[in-house]
Amino acid sequence: MIKTMTFRAFLTVFLACIMASTLFGLLYHFDNKYNTNVEISQDGAVLLPDFQNEHGMHSDEITWLVQGWDFYPDQMIYPGDSAGESKSIYIGQYFSFAQFHEDGSPYGTGTYRLKVRGNGNYTMLIPEVFSACVVYVDGEQITSSGSISPYKPYIKDLVFSFVVNGEAEILIQTTNYSHYYSGITYPPAIGSSEAISRLITIRMLFYGFLVFTSLALALFAAVIWCGTNKNRASNENCWLGLLGLSFSLRVCYPFIHMLGISGGNLAYVLETTMASFGLFCIARTVSLICLKTDTLPERILKGITGGFVLIGLVFSLWMTKYLPGFVPVYGQILYWYKALIAVTMTLLVVRQFLKRKSGQILLLLTGLLVYSLSLIFHALCLGHFEPAYTGWFEEWGTFILVMCFAVRMALRNMEIIRENRHLNEHLQEEIAHKTESLSKLLEERRMLLSGFAHDLKTPITSITTFTRLVELDNTQLDEESRQYLDIIRRKTKEIQEQLSTINEFTQIDSTPPAFEALDLRVLLRDFYSGNKPDINVSGVSFELLLQDDKPVMIYGDKRKLVSVLQNLVFNAVSFTPEGGTISLCLNQEKEFAILRVKDTGSGISEEDIPYIFDRLFTNRIHENSNGMGLFIVKSIITEHRGTIEVASELGKGTVFTIRLPVMQ
């Protein structure tokens, strides 16, 4: 079974690699500037096609000016100058002037000359001339970027139109003293204005898709990471978000060059640094999946990839300026670094897959292999491939890898959601089971207490009766015996009160709540009018304070709420001296009804307040009290999804505040 799974997995990866290779092959054949045939006359002039058809409409045909160029290294040729020593080249054959200098420096000047033959109005696109240039057509300056003298770099895409009547000469002067590329690196395009506009639009749409898709992925990953616990698994979301952000910043350069945003070399510093940082993010994610934390392989991989981020930044900012001869060497080092890191990460993922046989790891393996293939195609086609409408092989490979990471994140989060749903269902079943068990236990306890109270009632009554009979018979008892009888009578009375409390508690606990819509104002008025005479007999003033005449509707059990009021109010009577006041206050605050029972009694000590709702707690030292009243009060309020609080000060009184949710 395991062998079958492994075979299917590697077959899937193999098919994915075949599909990726097919994609790169199609790009090479159908989206490659170098695959267009340009007719060149015997005297070396490029023959431009007629971009107007027989109906006078402009066609969408574009000619890529790859061949037919004369290049004058380290020469600044002006229109009308006699030609110096030149070299016939195709654009892309040399990425810099380094091949023409013994020290390998990409810095210097160079002039490109091209003769074209045709008739009509043409529009030309010259992408990214490094790093300053002036363009002449038939001796007339058409456009420029930056300044050749004094040197001021300004890299942008140049778009201009000119008329050719028969034959024209295009002369482009270039200077570079700041970049690792030099001169014209990418083949220019020529065609009708409509065709060039269409080319630019398609290219911007493609790179816009890459940029905004990666940014959306980065934002999504950041939201997930911020909303989860910070652990090893969630850190994958963090690195995925940073990878998406770095890739979007890396591939935004077409917009910078097309819009002509000035910033010197900063655009290329950003592109180079983000490429290295993206590889660092990939390595960190692979480490989280395949390596243990703080092990030697993990530290080595992190150190190398993190170090190259700093190296790329330093190289872009300073090394090209002070060590220009090192530029070609650095380019080779950078390529082999990418290739070796890609192979290393692929092997780590293969090893991890063989351990776990996970589909998510298989997805990651597929992405890494596609990325490695993109590097191979990039190396094989160097100098013979430049995309006309879409992106470079490495950009495609990186984007596919980012999408594989994204799909893996989505699958993992879906798996977490399924596990949470399963756990919630299991938890609900467990809660239902525990609730049923607890209900049975509480019912058994209630029955036990009820039976216990009933069984004790008869012998307690007998003790009370016989004690009374002994007293009534005038039996000759000495003083000591009479004291014993008094003690028996007192203790028996205490037991009867405790049994009465048990009966009351079990009755409340066993009676199912009869919840109904209640107007608290009506409930308080009825309670107030029914109990005011009894309270006034005690010499205490009893008052009712209602906020307004609006109904305060709650959903509750009238009988149990009356029991709460009786406990609180008559407790207050016990602690309030003659001439004192007990107040019932009601008002509504947003979604809660606020009920307060105030008194001007003796108050409660600060150390007793945390315990007054505890079962069996009482501070009536010289009175018979079972300590169950406030415990029952809190139980009823909790049953009504409310809260009860107490505030008190010795000698000044006590306030009980009850909050009950109102009906919406």
The pLDDT, as a whole number, for residue 56 is 46
Alpha helices in 251-358 (DSSP H): 253-259, 266-290, 296-314, 320-322, 327-356
> What confidence score (pLDDT) does residue 322 get?
74
List Cβ neighbours of 106 (8 Å cut-off, separation of 6 or more): 96, 97, 98, 176, 179, 180, 181, 182, 320, 324, 327, 328
Give the mean pLDDT of 281-309.
Answer: 89
Q: How confident is the model at residue 55 (pLDDT cuts 50, 70, 90)?
A: very low
Percent share of the chain, pLDDT over 70? 87
Q: What is the pLDDT of residue 354?
A: 80
Name which residue leads in pLDDT, 444 or 431: 431
What is the average per-residue pLDDT within 224-231?
72
Helix (H, G, I), strand (E, B) or coil at 159: strand
The answer on pLDDT for 643 being more than 90 is yes
Q: What's the rounded Cα separation, in Å, for the pair 349 and 301?
A: 14
- The more confident residue out of 229 and 418 is 418
- What confidence score (pLDDT) does residue 48 get? 86
Helix, strand, coil percent content, the chain, rounded in steps of 5: 55, 20, 25
Q: Is the pLDDT of residue 624 over 80?
A: no
Residue 334 has pLDDT above 90, yes or no: no
263-274 burial, b if ≥16 CB within 10 A, otherwise e?
Answer: eebebbbbbbbb
Q: Is the pLDDT of residue 168 over 70?
A: yes
Which tops the pLDDT comparison, 168 or 408? 168
Please enumerate in sequence order all residues whose Cβ is within 8 A of that of 153, keeping only pairs 6 or more positions apart, or say none. Answer: 130, 131, 132, 146, 176, 177, 178, 179, 264, 265
What's the whole-number mean pLDDT along residues 205-230? 87
How many residues does the structure list for the chain?
664
Q: What is the pLDDT of residues 348-398, one digit of tens each?
A: 888 888 887 677 788 888 888 898 899 889 888 888 899 999 999 999 999
The CA distance from 24 to 213, in Å, is: 21
Specify the higher pLDDT residue, 421 or 213: 213
Q: 280 pLDDT band (50/70/90 cuts)? A: very high
Average pLDDT, the chain: 84
pLDDT at 473 over 70: no
Higher pLDDT among residues 176 and 499, named by residue: 176
Per-residue pLDDT at 414 exceeds 70: yes
Count of CA atoms in the C-beta half-sphere (13 A) of 614: 9
Residue 555 · residue 516 · CB < 8 Å: yes
Q: Which helix (H) or strand (E) holds 525?
A: helix 520-537
What's the Rg (C-alpha) of the chain?
45
| Average pLDDT for 45-69 | 75
Between residues 424 and 71, the one the model is more confident about: 71
Q: Average pLDDT, stretch 2-23?
A: 79
Q: What is the pLDDT of residue 510?
A: 56
Residue-wise pLDDT tens digits, 112-166: 999 999 888 999 999 989 889 999 999 999 999 999 989 999 888 999 999 998 8
Q: How far apart are CA 195 and CA 157, in angstroms?
A: 16
| Integer Cα distance of 181 and 107 in angstroms | 9
Q: In whole angstroms, what is the distance from residue 239 CA to residue 197 CA?
A: 38
Position 210 confidence tier, pLDDT thresholds 50, 70, 90: very high
Question: How far, in whole angstroms, is CA 127 from its chain's centroid?
Answer: 38
Cβ–Cβ under 8 Å, residues 555 and 595: no
Strands (E), 57-107: 62-64, 69-73, 87-89
User: With 80 as the cut, is the pLDDT of residue 498 above it?
Assistant: no
Per-residue pLDDT band for 619 (boundaries 50, 70, 90) equals low
User: How many DSSP H helices and E strands does the chain contain?
Assistant: 14, 18
Decide if pLDDT at 344 tops 70. yes
